Amino acid sequence: MSKHRLADADMVEQADSGTDSGATRRSLNPSGTDTLPAPEKPRVIAVANQKGGVGKTTTVVNLAAALALGGLKVLVIDADQQGNASSSLGFRHLAEDQLSLYEVMTEGAALRDALVQNEKIPNLWVVPASMNMAGIELELNERTNFQQILADAVHQLLNSGEHFDYIFIDSPPSLGIMTVNALVAAQEVLVPLQAEYLALEGLTQLTKTIDMLVIRLNPDLRFTGILPTMVTTNTLLGKGVLEEVRAYYGNIVMETIIPRNVALAEAPSHEESILTYQPASKGAKCYLDAAYELVSREEKS
């Protein structure tokens, strides 16, 4: 077990579940200094898997929160019309004049003008999805270079003087236009994989799409890792699937695994990440571990 992990567990146990973000942040960083190293360049990570309900949004929200609590400036772009990442981070309802990813994708609005700040974690920013996004795939289909829209918007944001250390893009459960936009805009892809029977079949389809994109549209895209989610290691089936995934994908599979944990399922209805909702839970500890592992995978990926 790494030094980070031991430290994490202690810090999380000490953290309270109060509503003051300063208190939470101090609990996570008792020295009062930022503990996570910033990447050399901003890392833009698409979290993708065309299978529904595998933990994409949970992973985006909680990794983003963990890194932001570690002192890094983090942005979540919600590219899923379901808007689950937005609502999990406090933006279930948007102010009337609030721009969303819809205006960015269809009207050329700047991402910078669509940023909203998370209430509990000031380092965490969101570009929310909106209800209008329900028909976005049909709207964008008509455009030339429609796969490139989000990439151009992210590029513009990062050249606008606005700094982010990490940008996560949550994508919908399909391999449609929004997922493709996410994969083209990103430098890295992180795949949450629910460790269950048949999980590997869907993964083959995703990796084929990624290979195709890499050749055609985004030759720089790298595989950051596969994160096993909702793991039940107390069943033979759960263990077996995990072993199979590791045997097949080797080091791409992250060391950290995310177990089934009820607090992780409850947190979104409180519009909070697990790190502020229940910092002492197993789910919070595991997502902190995953955040540290993600940071350490910068050089390797």
Ligand X SMILES: Nc1ncnc2c1ncn2[C@@H]1O[C@H](COP(=O)(O)OP(=O)(O)OP(=O)(O)O)[C@@H](O)[C@H]1O
**Which residues contact ligand X by CB under 6 A?**
52-58, 80, 82, 84, 173, 229-230, 258, 260-261, 264-265, 268
- What distance in Å separates the CA atoms of residue 87 and residue 96, rounded to the nearest whole number? 16
Amino acid found at 231:
V
Burial class (CB in 10 A: 0-12, 13-18, 19+), 135: exposed
What minimum distance in Å lies between the beta carbon of 170 and Mg ion? 6
Among ligand X, Mg ion, none, what binds residue 265 when CB lies within 5 to 8 Å by partner kind?
A: ligand X
Among Mg ion, ligand X, none, what binds residue 209 when CB lies within 5 to 8 Å by partner kind?
A: none
- Under DSSP, is residue 138 helix (H, G, I), strand (E, B) or coil? helix
What minimum distance in Å lies between the beta carbon of 197 and Mg ion? 21
The residue nearest Mg ion at its CB is 57
Q: Which is nearer to ligand X, 53 or 135 (CB)?
A: 53
What minimum distance in Å lies between the beta carbon of 57 and ligand X? 3
Q: Which is nearer to ligand X, 12 or 157 (CB)?
A: 12
What minimum distance in Å lies between the beta carbon of 145 and ligand X? 26
Among Mg ion, ligand X, none, what binds residue 58 when CB lies within 5 to 8 Å by partner kind?
A: ligand X
- Under DSSP, is residue 183 helix (H, G, I), strand (E, B) or coil? helix
Interhelix angle for 282-296 vs 56-69, to 10°?
Answer: 80
Q: Hey, what are 234's tokens?
A: 């107390």
Q: Which is nearer to Mg ion, 55 or 259 (CB)?
A: 55
- What distance in Å separates the CA atoms of residue 74 and residue 124, rounded to the nearest whole number? 5
Q: Hey, what are 146's tokens?
A: 């429609």
